[in-house]
Amino acid sequence: MTAPSSILPSREPGPHNADAPAYWLRVALDVPLPGLFDYRSDQDVAVGTRVIVPFGRRKMVGVVVQLEDQPTIDAHLVKPVEQILSDLPPMPDDWMRLARFAAQYYQRPLGEVMLPCLPTGLRKVSAYQGKRSGGGPVVRSDARKQSAPASDVTPAAAPQLNADQEKAVNEICGIQGFKAVLLHGITGSGKTEVYLRAAQHALAQGRQVLFMVPEINLTPQLERSLRARLTAVAGGDILAVMHSGLADGERLRAWLRVQRGQARILLGTRLAIFTPLPDLGLIIVDEEHDASYKQQDGLRYSARDLAVWRAHDLGIPVVLGSATPSLESWHHAQTGQYLLLSLTHRARDAELPAVRLVDTRRLALEQGLSPHLVTAMQERLQDKQQCLVFLNRRGYAPVLSCASCGWVSQCTRCTAYTVLHRARGGRNLLSCHHCGYRSQVPRACPDCGDQDLRPMGRGTQRVEEHLAELFPDARIARIDADSTRLKGSAEALFAKVHAGEVDILVGTQMVAKGHDFSNLGLVGVLNADSMLFSQDFRAPERLFAQLMQVAGRAGRHLKGAEVIIQTDYPEQPVYQALTRHDYKGFAEYALTERRAVGLPPFAHQALLTAEARELRLAMDFLSAARDFVGQHPDRFPAADLITLYDPVPLRVVRVANIERAQLLVESSSRPALQAFLSVWMQAMPQLAVDTRVRWQLEVDPLEI
C-alpha cells in the first residue's frame, strides 16, 4: 500500500541529488493510516532500525520495515531520514514477524502495532532531540545505578511432586519444537509448581522464559516464588517484571534487561507478549481463560492467542494453564491440536469444598441472604473459621427508586442506572459505573416530590452493613474496587485476612483470583443469576469460571469447607456442573450447544463498532458498510462464506453522551473471514467519510 502523497511533506528539501548514494526505506509510523511511508537515507540502514523522520509538520520515531530499490512514489517527493537511532540494535526478525502478524490478523496499520508496544522513551522524538535528551533514554537508563533486589532472597527448596505433576513436568520438558500444552488443573492442584519446574528446565538449557499472568495483582506473589526458587539459585537477578503499573523508566530498564538477554525470565501481563526475547525457549500463560489477556482498546489483541502464535513461529513449547480453560482452548485439546495434561488432585491432600445450591424461589430472603447461609455462617464463626460472601456488584444499591411514582435514578449521559454509594461519613451519592458521573442524592423524587426514595437491590456495601447487624461481634472487611482505591490498600486488606484479623470478608471478583485463604471454611455466593442471563453467549462460561475460582478459595488447608450458591435456577447445567466440580461436563455441554448454533469455537467472528452523538449516524455508517459488500460482488469473491448480521444498538447504547452500535461478521472459515476483513477494511476510509462517526474493528471479540 502506498501512502497518499498529499500527506508527505512537500516543502524542503530540494530535488534529490542523483550522484549521492540513496537507500530507499519504507517506514512504519504510529499514525491511523494504512500502509508504510517512503523515506530516503544516504547510509545503509538495516530492517528493524528505528529512525526519526519528518511527517507533515511533525517529527516522528518510526521503524524501518522494508528496503527498496526504488521509492513507491516520485523520488523527488521522498524526504530524507533525519536521524538513525543506533542506541539499540535493530529490532529482531522474530519481533518484526510478530508485529506483522498482529497487524494483519487484527487489521491495524503496522505502525500502530509496532510503536505503541515499545517503551515510551524509545518512540519519543523528544527523548532524543530535546534539550535534556543526553544521548537518549537508553544511555540515560544505563547510566543509572542498577539495584540488586535479588540479594535478600532466601532460596526455597522444591516441594515433592505428585504423580500428575511429575507426568506433566516430564511431558513438557520432553517437548522438542512447537507444541501447545493445555494444563488443566483444579484450583490448588499445584499448577505453579509445574510452571516452575518447566521454567527451570528451560533456564538450564540456556533459554529465556516468558511467564504471563492476567493481572498486576497476581505478580507480587509469583515474583516472590520465582525469585526464591529460580533467581536465588541462579545467584543473580535474572527476573524482570513488566506490567502497566510500572513507571516509564522502570519499564524501559526491564525491557532492556530482557532484550539484552540479561534477564532470563520475564514475568508480565499481556503487554509483555511484545517484548523481544533473544533466547526465548518457553512461554507460560497462567489463567489462560482470563479476559484480561484481551486488550480492550487500540490494537484489540489477545495476548494468549499471540503467545501461541509466537511459540509456533519460534518452534518452542507454550503452556496454557487453567482450572477452567476457555472453551476455545478446551476444544483444541479435544481435537488434538493442543496436548492436554491434567492435574486432578489437590496438593497437600486438601479436599475440594462441597458445593450446595440453595433454591431461593420459595424462600423468604432477608436482605438477600437465605436462612441456610446465615445458619452456616454462624456455625463457621463459632468454629473460628472465616467466611467469604461473594457478590459481583459494588456500591450500596444498584438503583434508587421512588416508592410512589416509580422514578429510578438514571445517568443523564448514559442509558444506565446510577448506583447508590455510601461515602465515608455516611454521606450518600449516586454514581454511574459507565461514565463515572457522580451526583448528590436528591432529597425528594424529582418527578413527584415524594420523599420516600428507596434503594433497590443490594451491592457489597449494603450486604456488609446487614452482616454487621446480623453478626455484631464479627470483624468484617469489604474488598472491592471502592475499598481498594488507594495504592496499597488491597494488599493491606488481604494481609489482614491472612493474619486472621477478619472473620467475614465481603467482596467482588477481586477476591476470586490468586489468593489462598488458609482458614476459609465457607463461601456464600449471592446474585449469581444476574451473571447467568446476559445476552452474551459467553455468560455461562464466565459464570462457571468465576464461581469455580471463588469456590477454590475455600478449604485449601482445612477439611469440610463448603460453598453455598443462592439461585432461582438450580437446575441450570452450569450450577449442576459446579456441584460436581465438573469442568469437563460443563465444557462438553456448552460445546455441544455452541456447535448446534454455530458459535465460537465452531465459527469465527469480528465486530465492527461505530460511535456517534446520534445513534442514527452510527447505524447509517454500519448499514453502508454492510451494503457495500453486496454492491461489490467482484471484490468479495468468497462472500457466501461470510454472514453479515444487521447493525444493532449496543445494550447500553449511550455512554457519556455517545451512542453506540455494532455489526457482527461471522464465518465458519477463518481464512475466509481474514480475507474478507482485509478487503473490507481497505474500503473503510471511503465509507467513513462522515467525521462525526468513529469506528473500530475487533477480531475475535470476547463480548458481544
Contact present, 127 and 121 (Cβ < 8 Å): yes
Nearer to Zn ion, 44 or 450 (CB): 450
Residues in contact with Zn ion, counted by CB under 5 A, come to a total of: 15
Q: Shortest Cβ distance from residue 198 to Zn ion (Å)?
A: 46
Binding residue for Zn ion, selected from 158, 405, 444, 492, defined by CB under 5 A: 405
Question: What is the x/- site pattern for Zn ion, positions 441-460, by CB under 5 A?
Answer: ----x-xx-x----------
**Inter-residue long-range contacts of 538-544, CB under 8 Å, 24+ positions, other chains counted:** 538/702, 538/703, 538/704, 540/572, 540/573, 540/574, 540/590, 541/326, 541/327, 541/590, 542/291, 543/574, 544/324, 544/574, 544/577, 544/578, 544/583, 544/586
Shortest CB 529 distance to Zn ion, Å:
25
Say if residues 317 and 308 touch (Cβ distance below 8 Å).
Answer: no
Q: Which is nearer to Zn ion, 265 or 416 (CB)?
A: 416
Which one of residues 437, 569, 589, 602 is an interface residue with Zn ion (CB under 5 A)?
Answer: 437
Judged by CB under 5 A, the residue of 309, 407, 569, 602 near Zn ion is: 407
Q: Is the Cβ of residue 174 or residue 449 nearer to Zn ion in the bound state?
A: 449
Where do we find the cell 451519592? Answer: 429
How far, in Å, CA of 292 to CA of 322, rounded? 14
Q: How far is the CB of 430 from Zn ion (least distance, A)?
A: 10
Which range of residues in 170-178, 357-365, 405-413, 695-703 is near Zn ion by CB under 5 A? Answer: 405-413
CB nearer to Zn ion: pick between 53 and 435? 435
What's the CA angle centered on 661, arms 657 and 664, to 5 degrees?
160
Residue type, 314: L
Q: What are the Cα distances from residue 537, in Å, to 78, 574, 625?
A: 51, 13, 25
Choose the binding region for Zn ion from 33-41, 70-78, 428-436, 597-605 (rule: CB under 5 A). 428-436
Q: Which is nearer to Zn ion, 49 or 418 (CB)?
A: 418
Q: Which region, judged by CB under 5 A, interacts with Zn ion, from 326-334, 390-398, 439-447, 604-612?
A: 439-447
Give the shortest CB-693-to-Zn ion separation in angstroms.
21
* Nearest Cα residue to 551 out of 573, 588, 583: 583
Minimum distance from CB of 450 to Zn ion (Å)?
A: 5
Helix axes 191-204, 219-226, angle to 10 degrees: 50
Q: HSE on the CB side for 35, CA within 13 Å?
A: 14
User: CB-wise, 454 or 559, nearer to Zn ion?
Assistant: 454
Which DSSP state fits 36?
A: B
Stretch that binds Zn ion, among 277-285, 431-439, 544-552, 692-700 (CB under 5 A): 431-439
Least gap, CB of 652 to Zn ion (angstroms): 9
Among positions 435, 548, 608, 661, the unique one binding Zn ion when judged by CB under 5 A: 435
Residues 606 and 609: their CA atoms lie apart, in Å, by 10
Within 373-402, the residues that bind Zn ion by CB under 5 A are 402
Stretch that binds Zn ion, among 89-97, 126-134, 367-375, 427-435 (CB under 5 A): 427-435
Task: Show the 3-state SS of 148-162.
Answer: CHHHHCCCCCCCCCC
Q: Any contact of residue 78 with Zn ion (CB under 5 A)? A: no
How many Cβ atoms from other residues are within 10 Å of residue 315's Cβ? 11
Contact predicate 666/643, CB 8 Å: yes
Using CB under 5 A as the criterion, which residues of the chain lie in contact with Zn ion when the complex forms? 402, 404-405, 407, 411, 413-414, 432, 434-435, 437, 445, 447-448, 450
